[in-house]
Amino acid sequence: MTQTPKAVPRRKGARRMAEIPPAVLNALNEGRDETVTLVEWLAIDIRILARAMAGQIGAAGARETLGRAADALADQSISARTKGMGAALRGWLAERNDRDALAARLAAHGSDTVRMWTCYARVGEAGLGLKERLARGKPFAADRAMSVRESAWDALRPFLAENLSRAFKLLERWVRDRDPNVRRCAVEGTRPRGVWCAHLAELRKDPDPGLALLEPLRADPHRYVQTSVANWLNDASKDHPDWVRKVAARWLKESKADATRWIANHATRTLRKRGAVRSGC
């Protein structure tokens, strides 16, 4: 089974590219460190990283194959680069008899960018059932790096959208997982509108099935999860304000937890702006 990379001491991240020390940038490009801020992620030269990665996992023969893919993607958007390298890695792994061993090394790589590529490669492999895709995505959902956790839900989302009823049944175990990162991924991956991703028309039309995942988390103790639950409901409020208002009111009546109050308040922020609910809901 793929091992989730262990947490490492965090350095202070750069806020501007000019602030990235040359030694840190070299370490990021060579896969010897992981990013701390978005700026650092944007600064990585994937052409260097792709070639370094091949040698680090004992697959020097892939240096030019993956390097050429990186060359072609270098001028694309950060999203296109990340998903493109995931596709390139997936194609390369498909031709390897030792693909599982190599995938395990990639999933434990010290570079969060490499782990992101690996997430898209593994989750997006052709011919898999949703249960297998979720099993492959779960270690990435639990990753120490936020960048990788964001890739996990984004990589899974198109496949969840293909059969939401099946997805909700499988994700019911995720929202009861001990790891808050896993719980959060289940919610974030099914948001009706989401961020930088296609909307889920089925949930925009009828958000009610989403309660199968949201109800168990209405008093979750972790703010990371609370925020995702609130954002899910806030998404829904833009199409179904009455539905969200009723859910929030019921939760507040049934639960006295501070977490529930925070979620309900944050979930109804758009409604308050429209004057649809009272402040402090």
pLDDT digits (tens, 9 = 90+) for 142-162: 999 999 999 999 999 999 999
Q: How many domains does the chain have?
A: 2
Ranges 4-18, 153-167, 257-271: which has the least confidence:
4-18
225 and 278 together in one domain: yes
User: Which of 97, 126, 155 lies at the terminal end of a domain, its last residue?
Assistant: 126
The answer as to whether 61 is a domain residue is: yes
pLDDT band at 278 (very low <50, low <70, confident <90, very high): low
Calculate the average pLDDT of the chain: 93
CA dihedral 13→18→23→26, nearest 10 degrees, is: 100
Structural contact between residues 188 and 146, judged by C-beta atoms closer than 8 angstroms: no
Q: 269: domain range?
A: 163-281
The answer as to whether 175 is a domain residue is: yes
Is the per-residue pLDDT at 95 higher than 60? yes
pLDDT band at 277 (very low <50, low <70, confident <90, very high): low
The answer as to whether 262 is a domain residue is: yes
- In degrees and rounded to multiples of 5, residue 156 shows phi and psi of -80, -30
168 and 223 together in one domain: yes
Distance between CA atoms of residues 152 and 163, nearest Å: 18
pLDDT band at 208 (very low <50, low <70, confident <90, very high): very high
Ranges 131-145, 184-198, 209-223: which has the least confidence:
184-198
